[in-house]
Structure 1
Amino acid sequence: MSGKRQFRIWRGDESGGDLQDYMVEVNEGEVVLDVIHRLQATDAPDLACRWNCKAGKCGSCSMEINGKPRLGCMTRMSTFGDDETVTVTPLRTFPVIRDLVTDVSFNYEKARETPAFAPPADVAPGDYRMQQVDVERSQEFRKCIECFLCQTVCHVIRDHEENKQAFSGPRYFIRAAELDMHPLDARTDRKEYAQAEQGLGFCNITKCCTEVCPEHIKITDNGIIPMKERVVDRRYDPLVWLGSKIFRRGETPQTSVTTARQGSATPGSARGGVHSHAGGSHDSRAEAQAQSGVNWHREVPHPTAPAVDDRGKLPLTELTFDRAAAPSPFGDDVTFPLPPEHLNFAHPEQDNKH
């Protein structure tokens, strides 16, 4: 295991850069971060790399190693072949500051936008009491070290920069799920907020966030999917939906944030035929609100069929359709989760030869 190993490391800043090759001494039992420190001490003293605890608990040394987001301090050199070139690049989703250091302030902005825990008004601090089963339900999500590997691997913003405004990402979906499970949280609109304000509808559960999580949090199975199911129960379950048409006249739940923005809609926000990713509601008033606060006037695919016919009646096909929702936009031949070989972890420049 000991001996010289070839490393290919991205060097540059916000104005540009390239991959540079280095031959570095590697000793048995070392991790990638050890090798980067040795490289700083020998051949590249100006190489910028963020790190702190070197114990897999601070999340600082996030980087992309051979195209996959990982922690440098938790990636052992023994996992690579003796003749394998180890390519290290900065997190692809976030702007580069210098070398392997990226600007992850996007995540802190989304953290500030996420509503905090709302304690019950009739219980004083120090008097909170929870059953152990309730503690255990959300304890998994508290293990998050905010390395933001799940954020950088999520293709919704990894491949589509324009989605960043409307999408909070997996890290804050599990925060919303944690608070929605909390028996003492006074807010009752966590599900609606996740759908309308955090962009939960953008996630198509490919589970790549779960795959890269160093704390092994089942982000998709235990956080995102349950939140999606609870949203679907309210909006798309045929019986619940039919009841809403009969008793609530098509009204849809609105989050406090969306409601507060009702008066801020711009003239273009209620264009005919435009539906938000919060939607499927077929309620023009609700869609106008969602457009003004969520989708920033970007058009998305129209619903596959109207909720009612031209006379305002419920079509018989809605009751006889053989599925609980509309046909999948991905086609009937696609199943989830996608196989690993279909996930794009590759850095766009990692294969360039220099």
Structure 2
Amino acid sequence: MGSRRQFRIWRGDASGGDLTDYQVEVNEGEVVLDVLHRLQATDAPDLACRWNCKAGKCGSCSMEINGRPRLSCMTRMSTFEETETVTVTPLRTFPVIRDLVTDVSYNYEKARETPAFAPPADVAPGDYRMRQVDVERSQEFRKCIECFLCQTVCHVVRDHEENKHAFAGPRYFIRAAELDMHPLDTRTDRKEYAQAEQGLGFCNITKCCTEVCPEHIKITDNGIIPMKERVVDRRYDPLVWLGNKIFRRGQVPQTSVSSGQHEDAVHSHAASGGVHSHAGGSHDASAEVQAQQGLNWHREVPKPTMPPVDDNGKLPLTELTFDRPAAPSPFGDDVTFPLPPEHLNFVHPNQDEQY
């Protein structure tokens, strides 16, 4: 016979909502998703939540449980104290559709913008050959079940909605790393693309994405950091630096990421009056209409906003004296600290209202 446990579940839609308390029976060995199903069968038949496999392999049942992004089918009730109230909320980074269901289409937009695998043109599919070590190196990243927990916990988009158009997120950084490590991929500009188009430079390696990954992928150590190192090798190569000193700005040979089509897009942008959508960056009025509808698969992805630097590549003093010395917790405001927050080197976004 099970015991009655206290649950607090967010109910609402895009227009607003609130936490609702429930008393639900919990049996030994059950997971949070089991309890949600029992709640749907008893007290809340209209409760909306996503799920599919119930085996931790589809990534559908992502939600935040006690402030931490988790898969509800892999979160056992035995991990909580019997007297503890279990709070279940939708993923905070994405717009709410209803109850625990969020709109994660942002991630599919970024998936479409990521260049696909480009096999050698002169090798037939049945003739592909790879060494086992190359298979194993990229296989780790292919374990991703696209639960988007790493995406929702990344504070670059979690705390800054304006970054979404220019930041692909950790899930697509490991996709770029996987293809860059693939010996049969013929694209040579994966690193430059990750820096210029996917916003790799925005990541400050807090490793919160690795911490919540249910597949235990070393997203930061094995994916993002190696990509950053490769970008640095190219960006700060002494020969490239010398070339920048010899040539005038704009005359240095460009990579395939930023040349050709981008220049045409810039001219069309000026001619069209500067139309620019949140979803795409093609700078063409007709293409932007399609971008809003998600139909233009060939549009140019938006350019991230680079940090202001002087001619020597150094940040101005204002960047170092910004009034946000640290970011809020990626797990929300319900985190308890051993010290009062006002005693820490931490500036809360709503500090004036709270303290």
TM range (shorter): 0.7 to 0.9
Where 1:82 maps in the other structure, the secondary structure is coil
Please give the alpha-carbon distance, in whole angstroms, between the structure 2 residues aligned to 1:70 and 1:220: 19
Distance 1:150 1:36, change over 3 A: same
Please give the alpha-carbon distance, in whole angstroms, between the structure 1 residues aligned to 2:101 and 2:302: 31
Offset of 1:259 from its aligned partner? 3.6
Q: Which residue of 2 aligns with 1:344?
A: 330
2:51 paired with 1:51: yes
Please give the alpha-carbon distance, in whole angstroms, between the structure 2 residues aligned to 1:228 and 1:147: 24
Distance 1:46 1:326, change over 3 A: same
Where 1:64 maps in the other structure, the secondary structure is strand
Q: Which amino acid aligns with 1:210?
A: T
Q: Which residue of 2 aligns with 1:82?
A: 82
Q: Which residue of 1 aligns with 2:211?
A: 211
In the alignment, structure 1 segments of 5+ residues that lack a partner are 269-291, 309-324, 349-354
2:66 paired with 1:66: yes
Offset of 1:14 from its aligned partner? 1.1
Q: Which amino acid aligns with 2:12?
A: G
| CA-to-aligned-CA distance 1:42-61 (integer Å, 9 cap, x gap) | 11111011001100000000
In the alignment, structure 2 segments of 5+ residues that lack a partner are 272-299, 335-355
Q: Which amino acid aligns with 1:56?
A: G
Please give the alpha-carbon distance, in whole angstroms, between the structure 2 residues aligned to 1:26 and 1:101: 23
Q: 1:89, 1:347 within 8 Å by CA — same for their partners in 2? A: no
Q: Which residue of 2 aligns with 1:148?
A: 148
Where 2:125 maps in the other structure, the secondary structure is coil
Offset of 1:98 from its aligned partner? 0.8
Please give the alpha-carbon distance, in whole angstroms, between the structure 2 residues aligned to 1:94 and 1:46: 21
Distance 1:122 1:99, change over 3 A: same
Please give the alpha-carbon distance, in whole angstroms, between the structure 1 residues aligned to 2:242 and 2:258: 26
Match of 2:311 among 306, 312, 319: 306
| CA-to-aligned-CA distance 1:307-344 (integer Å, 9 cap, x gap) | 39xxxxxxxxxxxxxxxx8799668xxx9xx9xx9633
Offset of 1:124 from its aligned partner? 0.9
| CA-to-aligned-CA distance 1:254-273 (integer Å, 9 cap, x gap) | 344664121222459xxxxx
Q: Which amino acid aligns with 1:71?
A: L
| Greater relative CO (CA pairs within 8 A, separation 6+) | 1
Correspondence list, 1:294-333, <5 A: 294-295=302-303, 301-303=307-309, 305-307=310-312
TM-score (norm 1): 0.77
Distance 1:267 1:138, change over 3 A: same
Q: 2:307, 2:315 within 8 Å by CA — same for their partners in 1? A: no
Q: 2:93, 2:153 within 8 Å by CA — same for their partners in 1? A: yes
Q: Which amino acid aligns with 1:307?
A: N
Q: Which residue of 2 aligns with 1:15?
A: 15
Q: Which residue of 1 aligns with 2:232?
A: 232
- Alpha-carbon RMSD across the aligned residues, in angstroms, is 2.8
Offset of 1:128 from its aligned partner? 0.3
TM-score (norm 2): 0.77
